[in-house]
Amino acid sequence: MAVVAAYRAIADDLRRRIEAGEFAPGDPLPSRAELARDYGVGSNVAASAVRVLVADGLARGRAGRGVFVRERPSSRTMARSWTQERLQGRLAVTGGGRGLTDDDGRSVRGTPRSTTGEAPEEIARRLDVPAAEPVIRSEYLISRDGRPAMFCVSWEPLGITGGTPVSLPGAGPMAGSSVVARMSYIGLRITRSTETVTARTATRAEAEVLDLAPGAPVAAIERTYYAGERPLETADLVVPGERFRLAYEIPAEPAES
């Protein structure tokens, strides 16, 4: 058997075994040494067969851990409208169909890591403040059912929250609460938000934190909260595209003139 035919034959057999359920999504594939022994080929041929599965999107490698069967695309829907879950700092997710609720409360928000610094030019534009304006930068991960669901990096003008009990999203009386609740605590009412969504591939850092294969699709959301016309917070949110769809509810009532 030619070398090329050998590794493709092994890849085809592994694909058949995956489709038959012998290896379920998330299961590890046999090691290169095990494949070489089981199929009677050299380790390089076994490695080439696995690379075919990775290239076809059926498997993915995890540094230092091996190669695993890739999860199938999910039909779960994440609501990005003004749900009670979102106002409470959780995710509103369903497994499909109608009704966008997270009744089991399985969203877990990690403790934000916050630093103080100068606003980059693009962030200053989004916050409508001068470039290099002092801001609080925070990053955190939201998980659902034990899997990463959203990676968030946010910026708030230090002139708004600095010196208040909510200056750090992960500390104080409103630790872990939503931006809406934190701003309300200091007398600022968020009246609207804007979101711009871009479909792209995950960066290496995003893939690592979201437990994705390098180059996996993500939805990148640029979000800004406003009190009237004043931006109070802006954030970059990254959602795994293979795990969630995004849903927006748009009121049909005409805007007031």
Tens-place pLDDT, residues 193-247: 999 999 999 998 998 899 887 778 999 999 999 999 999 999 999 999 988 999 9
Look at residue 132 and tell me whether its pLDDT is greater than 50.
yes
For residue 5, the tally of other CB atoms under 10 A from its CB is 9
Candidates 86, 74, 119; CA nearest to 241 is 74
Work out whether the CA dihedral 238, 28, 66, 5 comes out positive or negative. Answer: negative
Token digits of residue 162: 């600095």
Write the CB contacts of 96 (distance below 8 Å, at least 6 apart in sequence): 75, 76, 77
Contact 92, 85 (CB under 8 A): yes
Interstrand relation of 192-201 and 107-109 (parallel, antiparallel or unpaired): unpaired
Report if pTM > 0.85: no
Q: Return the DSSP state at 245.
A: E
- What local confidence, expressed as pLDDT, does residue 60 receive? 83
pLDDT bin (cut points 50, 70, 90) of residue 97 is very low
Q: Burial level of 87, CB count in 10 A (0-12/13-18/19+)?
A: middle
What's the pLDDT at 90? 79
Confidence at residue 159, expressed as pLDDT on a 0 to 100 scale: 95
Please tell me the predicted confidence (pLDDT) of residue 255. Answer: 61
